[in-house]
Structure 1
Amino acid sequence: MRRFRSIRSRLFLLFMGCMTGILILMSFLYYNRTLSIIHTKVSDIAEKNISQTAGLFNLMLQGYNSLSKSLNSNYELTRLLQEKSSNPAVSIINERTITNIIGAAYYSRDDVLGIHILSKDGKVYSYERQFAGVIDNNYAQTEWYKKLGESSGNMVWLGLYPGSPINTMQPQKRVFVFGRKLYDLDNHKEIGMLMIETNPSPIMEALSNVSISPGTQVYIVDDDGKIIASSEQKGTKRPELEKLPKPSEDEKIVADGTSKELIVAANASLAGWTIYGLTPKKDIQAEVYRTTKFLIVVVLVLIILSTVLASIVSRNIASPLKLLIREMKKVEMGNFSGSVNVDSFEEINSLVSSFNRMVHRMDELIETIKASTVSEKNAQLQALQAQVNPHFLYNTLDMIYWMLDEQENERLSRVVLALSQMFRYSSNWEEAARTTLGRELEQIRHYLTIIETRLGGRLQTEIAADEKWMNAPLPKMTIQPIIENAVKYGLEPKEGVGLLKVSTEVREKKLLIKIEDNGMGMDGETLKRVRETMAAKHQRDAGAKDVGPRRGIGLRNVHDRLVMMFGETYGLRVESELMHGTTVVVAIPIPAEGEGEG
């Protein structure tokens, strides 16, 4: 026993010594390398981010510039803006044509919120999402109007505004605004001004691309030092932007700046903007601190794991434990038939014996639960079937049919035969009340024979089910209750000829059986109650009384049986509109090849 302990101690010390030495050496090399990578990569990332952002802005602004040029180069637009007619009808047509041209440009881009054209004679043509045409009468005194007036035809980037600068009724939602003077390209005569409002989200999203830490502040500054847009939060101290280094065209600057910030800058050459990104150095150092803490934690955890592993190896119990773990994985995969046999220490032998007993007990419990679940589902299915299981004397009806046939009363005999076939079908509840779509449609044809005879030509029916789905399995008496509801509540009260159609289609990996009628339909409140009646399963399980119209109870019964047979993702869906008819969709799984045959 003392010799065994001595070997264990030596193995423990040897294992721990090797592992600790390797961990310390690897941790030292990893820390130095990581520190070097962080310092070199941060500058590279910052430069790439600012370069990509500048490129994004140039592409974005180029698209906006092209949009404004397309309007200025539209010959019909420039002609109509200069045309003056004394005929009011012609003026209205011209104004409508101008608005249509602006609308076409408006819908050419998803981010455009409003386009406004201010003609030389004081007219304003606008195309916006809402409240179009409610224009600020004092727009000529605004700063943005003066900037456009001072320009020489080039694009003027006006920047971000808290709301539409020209439409006083628009909601106060931030917009990015730009514009230019409009000229007649034939004689270079000024004919008005163009102002476009766009969603600022692309600009703000591009700003976030510059950030390399949560504390990074990004600013877009124009040539006059005015901030076009920024990502700064409320209460943040704004830096002295005029003292920051300004890059030349196509140049990127990465500078330490002050001792507290890392500064990156680049130009958006198309607009003459300068983009600045200011990242606090404490954020960069925080990454180093996190890396250091993480490394310390990892080393400590590895030392602890090495100690545990050394202890396990030294006690020579790895082999029986591996065997036990392998068997546990089989249990995890659902295999409860195996058992573990080891000859080791008494404690391990006891653990293995307990594990074997537990697995066998779990296997017995699972089989018991399976049997209980199957029995419960069968009982529920039989209880639901009892609500629709007719007990008819179809043999008597067959006799009446032959008596009528002998008397050559063809119409009445056809009705009696159809009723007899319906009773025969509905009273046969074999095979767990399963049937096929083809048999169910055959039953429906018998039912419709009776209904068409009773309504005397007021009902037209169409069964357009695809032949390849005739063997699709479904609960018996699924479609007939739906058609009964359609006839009783929808088509019988309707004046004139009613239409009833049964069709199939495949959608979202489901087979849909659609029963449509053009009857009276349901109002919104009635439709809501019908849907609630079908959905309120917890009320039915608790024994609550049914509420809602009788049609909802019948549909609920069908829905419950579909859910019982196929699962919660299948069942009924009801759509209806008052005086326009009702559509009931039966959703069942697409049958596998050969399923339901016979």
Structure 2
Amino acid sequence: MSYKPFKDFYYSISIKTKLIIVVCLLFTTPILLIGYFGYSNYEKIMTDKYMYYANTNVKELSSLITERIEGLHNFSMDMLYDTEIYEVHKNLLKNPTDVLTEFKLKRDLESYLRSLVFSRPEINLMAFQFKDKDEIYMATRHLVYQSSSTIPMNEMYKKSAGQPNLIHYFDMDNNKVNHIYFARVIYDRNDLQELGLVVFQVNKEYLFGILRDFLKNEFQNVYVYGEFQEELFRLELYDPKEQSKIKGEEYWIHDTIEPLDWKISVSISSQILLKEVRALSRMILLLCLATIPIFIVLINFLYADIFKPTHVLIQKMKEVEQGQIGVTLKSHRKDELGYLFKTFNQMSQKIEHLIDSVYKEQLALKNAEIKALQAQINPHFLYNTLETINWKAQLNGVDEISDMISALSEIMEANIDRENERFISLQSEIDYMDNYIFLIQKRFGSKIQVKKNIDAASMSVMIPKLIIQPLIENAIYHGIEPKGQGTVILNIALKEGIDAQNKVSLNKTLIIEVIDDGVGIPSIVLEDLKKKLKEKDGLSLSNTAYKKSKVGVINVQRRLQLIYGEPYGLTVESTEGEGTRIQMTLPIKDTD
């Protein structure tokens, strides 16, 4: 598949359009990705945490209901040890047909039952029926009369038959539980003969009201069912039918109420549970999308501030490219673009100046070449003449003059440079310097002493030609000669280079020191000299005497900077009246 059409399209649209597209992608892509995955993950975490919390609550509530049912069981057990029912039963057996006695016993027993009802807030009604008797003794919490015929005593009697424990019974009406009853058979403590059946109707709010108090969030419904799916309690805070219409997901929690095998079921609507989270996510997304126009405005401002001036600069550069000279830009900016405009103006003006002066420079170069060819004849002629004089001196036995002429001839030979050598060995440089010192000492005698401390291992190192003699000459003529006498010390040694910042070993360097005990350099001249040594064009000196005295040092520095660059070259230290120390640092490397 060829990508050229896409590349052509990409390069055809403007930078402004590219910026808008890139910023929109950079801004919306993370929002969509992070929003989608973050929101999904957050929904899952929130749902899981709430389900864990709700499941724990349901188990705790199930335990509380179980405790209340066990309390009813314990209450029924306590009645087995109460003497009131036994006494009534005993009196009935003594006078089974006495109406007055039966009335009093009925009053006493119902009074007893009423005291139990008011002592137990969870009980709405209590009733007792003796075995083989039709009479039902009943007490209620409410003042409204309730007929004993509404109590399903026969059904509960049948269900309790043979059951040693408390049983429960649901009074149903059209598949709806109206009342919940608990019943237990009472036996004689002495002979374990069945006396009758005690029944109490339980307040449903007492059993299940805690569900209403603790599970009342708008996104959950609560149901309690009997062992045969009889609905005992219902609390619907949202409409399940509406939930199915919007296709919202429902989560269910189930638990068992022991020991009756009742079931608690809690449904949780994810749609309602996450309603606020989803609304907040939508608001964040809308706010993020609403900021896109702001970014577009900022991009337009950025385009006008940066790219439009850049286009102007490009147009000016095209004008220069087409041959226009001296093109400049007017700008008062002080930022990076201002620096760029300033540099362009300087470059344009420099080009104009160079084009204007190139013709003159070419003429001057031609004249300099002619003069150089003419000047080259004189050193050769002088060298050949000195060789002839040396031959005549040897024939006449004047050895001292012959030695001086030989030394001068060696110096001339080095300066003529027949083989055009750029680098020579340190040994050759020392030989050349020795010839120079020989002639100097013939002139000054013992007034000038030269001491050499040279590392023998450095003699084979290749160095630029004629860089030591100018320093020796400078020390003699500008340091020792004004004083009248003195000593020049030449120290040469190899040194292992160390990068002080990174603590690593560098290439070896050659250290050459020329030290004299002459008159030294005045502090003002020394500072100017140091400044000139750092300049690229150190020969542009303002003082004629200064030119004559220090031009050799500056020439050596310029040569070293051109060959090796930073940080190699010369350093000068001097104290007026005490002397001068010049140190030269050279790298040791292949010079082929």
Larger relative CO (CA 8 A, sep 6+): 1 or 2? 1
Q: Which has the larger radius of gyration?
A: 2
What TM-score comes out, normalization by structure 1 length? 0.37
TM-score of the two chains, using structure 2 as the length reference: 0.37
